[in-house]
Structure 1
Amino acid sequence: MAAELQSFMARRGAKPFMALILISCFALFSRYYSFDTNTSHYRRALFYRNDSSLQQGQFNSHFSWTDGNGGIHQLPIETVLSKSFSLSSYSEQSQIIPYYYKAELNLTGEDITIVTLVTRNRIPNLARLATQYQGPISTTIHISDDEEGEYTLDILQQAMERNAAMRKFVDVHVVRDEFDRELNLWRNVAKLFARTEYVMQLDIDFFPCTNIRQSVLNNPKAMNLLRSGEAALVIPAFEYSKQEEGLDYRSFPKNKPDLVKQYTDKEVEMFHSFWLPGHAPTDYERWTQQEKDAEIYPVTSYQFSYEPYVIFKNQGSPWCDERFSGYGSNKAACLYELYISGVDYYVLPNDFIIHQTHAYPDEARNVERYYNRRLYTQFREEICIRLARRFIAQKKWDHPKSENLREECASIKPYQRAIGRFV
């Protein structure tokens, strides 16, 4: 073989042969790595399921800790993730890849990370959000285990290459499996890997028209509420009365006076005004009638279908219940548990978001809403009893922190029967 190689090189010359070798190596390298000069780091392509070496390399990551005697212990990260998300459809075929893209700007500590979800057709929304927000964003993107998933990653990479704000501010975490619309699982992944003390729960279809981040960070009252861990700040949400007028975010009002004028003229309205429990407790009449120098005010008429967009302390806050799959009640469940765990809601007086109009898959939503409504009734009973037992065990049953639970859960009959055994 060596003699044949020497003969070939003698006939053809060494330079063409070496060029062929270099081209082959480069092709192999580029298959498994992509490099963006603007992000100054490599992105490992983890999505070649048939390549045993890559799959082996991916599962070599471990969660490690040291015991009191200095002994080192490890668990495969996949085991940790399967336990972390055990209530969802997460299975041995699922893959969660944190920081598939990691933001250049290492914003940590006392800052506010937007926690959101993105699908392929909403990637332009993510780019707009990053450009407008100019702060940390932690997003989960779900992809299927096929060529469509690969295509989604290609679209995402193109967006990252084009948009400097995405490269600077956005951490992207990938969930890859065949389970669609696991919305609360995806929310939890984005929240888990958020790198700041506070998070803003936001749907990707909303556009922040004001500088919410700086408004909160520079407001001593807002920051004291967040630091307490017992308050969440509500961002009033609006949509255009004529849906076609909400297509272009560039036409949205950029300050409260302009927004209030459109509200008064009935051009914009409370988001999903057809379903009053969803956002009415924010008290839009009070909000629109306040002057510019108005103060933060508390939500006084909470009810269990309330699902505002909120900012709250990340550490110690509840996780979204992952049994909710598909549309309906999933976000309400997150916010219900947050509320009865002892977190009160307060409304920001000058900031707002507006929904960017898009089509809804109504048939799928109707079926999923039906089953999630039934689950939500059971969930409320369970969470009331579970948290009540926690407050009692911690000797906080008569503490102000349990007041939300005692008031909100009092109307649930199974809870009433059960609580008498504990108190």
Structure 2
Amino acid sequence: MMDVFDSTNVLIVPNLLFFLNLISLHDTEVVGVLGSSYQSEPRYLERDLLESRVREMEEENQQLRLQLSQSQVAAVQGQDGSYGNAQWVASADTGPEDGENTAEERSTQKGNHTTCARRPMVEKCELIHVACVCAGHNASRDVVTLVKSILFHRRNPLHFHFITDAVAHQILSSLFQSWMVPSVQVSFYDAEELKSEVAWIPNKHYSGIYGLMKLPLTKALPSDLTKVIVLDTDITFATDIAELWAIFRKFTDKQVIGLVENQSDWYLGNLWKNHKPWPALGRGFNTGVILLLLERLRRIGWEQMWRLTAERELMSMLSTSLADQDIFNAFIKQNPVLVHQLPCFWNVQLSDHTRSEQCYTEVSDLKVIHWNSPKKLRVKNKHVEFFRNLYLTFLEYDGNLLRRELFGCPSQPSADSLRSALEDLDEDDQCYDFRRERITVHRLHLYFLQYEYVPTDESVDITLVAQLSMDRLQMLEAICNHWEGPISLALYMSDAEAQQFLRYAQASDVLKHRKNIGYHIVYKEGQFYPVNLLRNIALRQANTPYVFLTDVDFLPMYDLYDYLRKSIVQLDLAHTKKALVVPAFETLRYRLSFPKSKAELLSMLDMGTLYTFRYHVWTKGHAPTNYAKWRTATTAYKVEWEADFEPYVVVRRDCPEYDQRFVGFGWNKVSHIMELDAQEYDFVVLPNAFMIHMPHAPSFDISKFRSSSSYRHCLTTLKEEFHQDLSRKYGAAALKYLTAERNI
């Protein structure tokens, strides 16, 4: 045993299996491992004697490890007294500091000893800043996977800085606001204001002008922000981002940029004949992951330096091929002292023809995976299936599970208010789950797919508004064939289902060509289907002055879009409070020859192919429409509100929203029509409009309603509370609703 304990020299005893394998070795070889005390034993040891000695030495080794850990604690506390407020950010397998010397560390082990270096520390609640350029629907969708991978591993507060266009700003601001992840801040910067900084640079890269916007980050980001990690949207983290943040502490006094070497041969200029890339230092550097010391960059005049570099090189190169990466590399070629080269596993590049496989020998080596190829998951790499599965893990990971608090770090006011609202609920209340649903904040991803709406010349355009879940997805193509106007849909899905929907939409010949459909993902959470929340989200995202409030399991008659626009003008909806009723019918047949006119529909009604909607199970819901009168009507006619009336209507977009206390099955549309009536809307039935409900299996919520007396009791309680709120809001005029309900 060692007489003097040295914290940098620790006796390492191999495991039991290793010693058992030494039985067949020569005794002199074993002596080299076990020490001189073994020399007095016979040439071949009995197995039990060897096991006994191994156990003894392992026990001694454990004592040494304990002494070492105590010594490290004492040393750190003695230096700065801050051990309790800091965290070691690199694992023992990654070597000293950021893991740069992993291979070197392994190769310098001598005998029974190894050298352990201190790792850089990140304060427990130190704020880490991350910047991304994100523009458009696709990039906004991709960046969510990056954010998930960071949140999954992180142990520090984060501040995301997004340089966005108007589309990405709308999508990401609503996403993070509804995500409500503790200890995460988000700031947005208008990409339009930066376009003039880089628009003069010709660029052949598919990223377009946005691929150049990392260059003016020192100007875009706050002047008091001293350092930031800059990431592409196609990045996936496999470790805590604090490890990367800690590398800033390794920069020399002159270094201002941290980058990983490029793993392709692009800048070597040998990919094809007459290939002439921009100048670069050796293989050049990839800008998918960048550490920027903003304070120093501003001090050395970065804004002027990169501009001069770009102007000089463009005289011969004419345009950039790899966007900002070309200019960064040309700048570094002239100023190599300013770059800090990061270990390659901080940016394992998975485009074709790269040297990325030389970056890692074990899974533990991987830190950041960069899908820097337009082909993404189809790149050529012998481990691509492993990387693909890691990426898909975060792509389909339930983002709600990332709402983890960082204990010991300050929480956001929004989290405190939600916690307070939950504490106010009575857990013994039989309807606790219903009441909790009302205060649940669902994560929201607006415009999940590309959306383009071009307003019509007239100010009478109308959007079909509906909501659905995965089991109604097959209705979308049929609705598109019946309705050519804009559509706003709220889809209630899990993260994995959202990806299934994406693949479905991209493969559909009908859906992939329709750009006037806004798909808004509301991520699943809670026990009930939040039907009225979904309707409100779809309603809020309608971009037209009028909306057609319907359900996704109805097919509108052909040309209903044009008919409704004409009716809006004829009935002067712009200056009157009217709700135009579209009569609803249903079929029990999965295959239906859809009627092309009212006359054809009446014929099918007489033959029993069609029925008035829900006449056999819920007559009251549509009885006030007065189907007998509709059969012969040639002009619009007014009908009066009656209890439980729930027609599908066309109204102005500024109509009242749905009451979100009603979830699952029951009274979700009834309450909305009741409030329209309370606001003195006139219900006007359109004589030549119709829609047909298509058959499908009962929803899970209607099954719960039918089978659960508790469910029905709580619905009755919510209805009574709604009546009370309606009376407080509209006064004595609302008493008729309570009277009508009691007379049923």
Shared fold per TM-score greater than 0.5: yes
Q: Which is bigger in relative contact order (C-alpha 8 A, separation at least 6)?
A: 1
The correspondence for 1:204, drawn from 552, 567, 591, is 552
Q: Within 2, Cα distance between the matches of 1:90 and 1:63?
A: 30
Q: Deviations over 1:340-373 (max 9, x none)?
A: 1111111111111111100114531323455323
Return the letter of the residue paired with 1:373: T
Contact 2:462 2:548 survives alignment (8 Å): yes
The verdict on how the C-alpha distance between 1:258 and 1:411 changes in structure 2, with shifts beyond 3 A counting, is closer
Contact 1:130 1:169 survives alignment (8 Å): no
Q: Deviations over 1:107-144 (max 9, x none)?
A: 47531111111211212212221232011111111123
The verdict on how the C-alpha distance between 1:40 and 1:116 changes in structure 2, with shifts beyond 3 A counting, is closer
Contact 1:216 1:222 survives alignment (8 Å): no
What's the CA shift for 1:410?
6.0
Q: Within 2, Cα distance between the matches of 1:280 and 1:153?
A: 41
Return the letter of the residue paired with 1:354: I
What's the CA shift for 1:163?
3.7
Q: Deviations over 1:53-72 (max 9, x none)?
A: 999645356799xxxxxxxx
Q: Which 5+ residue runs of structure 1 have no aligned equivalent? A: 5-31, 65-75, 390-401, 414-423
Matched with 2:464 is: 114
The verdict on how the C-alpha distance between 1:370 and 1:406 changes in structure 2, with shifts beyond 3 A counting, is closer
Contact 1:137 1:169 survives alignment (8 Å): yes
SS in 2 for 1:126: helix
Matched with 1:52 is: 151
Return the letter of the residue paired with 2:442: S
Contact 2:637 2:685 survives alignment (8 Å): yes
Contact 2:555 2:694 survives alignment (8 Å): yes
Q: Within 1, Cα distance between the matches of 2:635 and 2:569?
A: 9
What's the CA shift for 1:219?
3.2
Contact 1:210 1:351 survives alignment (8 Å): no
Return the letter of the residue paired with 1:204: V
1:342 aligns with 2:680: yes
Q: Within 1, Cα distance between the matches of 2:609 and 2:741?
A: 39
Q: Deviations over 1:165-190 (max 9, x none)?
A: 56322101111142230101111111
Contact 1:34 1:44 survives alignment (8 Å): no
Q: Within 2, Cα distance between the matches of 1:352 and 1:373?
A: 32
State the number of aligned residues: 340
Matched with 1:154 is: 500
Q: Which 5+ residue runs of structure 2 have no aligned equivalent? A: 1-99, 104-131, 161-171, 177-184, 190-411, 423-434
Matched with 1:383 is: 726
Contact 1:231 1:346 survives alignment (8 Å): yes
Q: How do 1:353-392 and structure 2 match up within 5 A?
A: 353-361=691-699, 362-366=702-706, 367=708, 368-388=711-731
Matched with 2:689 is: 351
Q: Within 1, Cα distance between the matches of 2:556 and 2:679?
A: 28
The CA RMSD over aligned residues, in Å, is: 3.7
Q: How do 1:256-295 and structure 2 match up within 5 A?
A: 256-274=598-616, 275-290=618-633, 294-295=634-635
Q: Within 2, Cα distance between the matches of 1:163 and 1:358?
A: 24
The verdict on how the C-alpha distance between 1:369 and 1:279 changes in structure 2, with shifts beyond 3 A counting, is farther
1:217 aligns with 2:565: yes
The correspondence for 2:489, drawn from 139, 142, 150, is 139
Contact 1:281 1:299 survives alignment (8 Å): yes
Matched with 1:68 is: none
Identity percentage of aligned residues: 26
Matched with 2:473 is: 123
What's the CA shift for 1:264?
2.0
Q: Within 2, Cα distance between the matches of 1:266 and 1:412?
A: 32
Contact 2:438 2:661 survives alignment (8 Å): no
Contact 2:479 2:556 survives alignment (8 Å): yes
Q: Within 2, Cα distance between the matches of 1:104 and 1:93?
A: 28
The verdict on how the C-alpha distance between 1:202 and 1:411 changes in structure 2, with shifts beyond 3 A counting, is closer
The answer to which structure has the higher strand fraction is 1
Matched with 1:17 is: none
Q: Deviations over 1:184-212 (max 9, x none)?
A: 11111111111111111111000012322
SS in 2 for 1:312: strand
1:319 aligns with 2:669: no
Q: How do 1:76-87 and structure 2 match up within 5 A?
A: none
Matched with 2:637 is: 297
SS in 2 for 1:100: coil
Matched with 1:16 is: none
Return the letter of the residue paired with 1:272: R
Larger C-alpha radius of gyration, 1 or 2?
2
Contact 2:460 2:569 survives alignment (8 Å): no
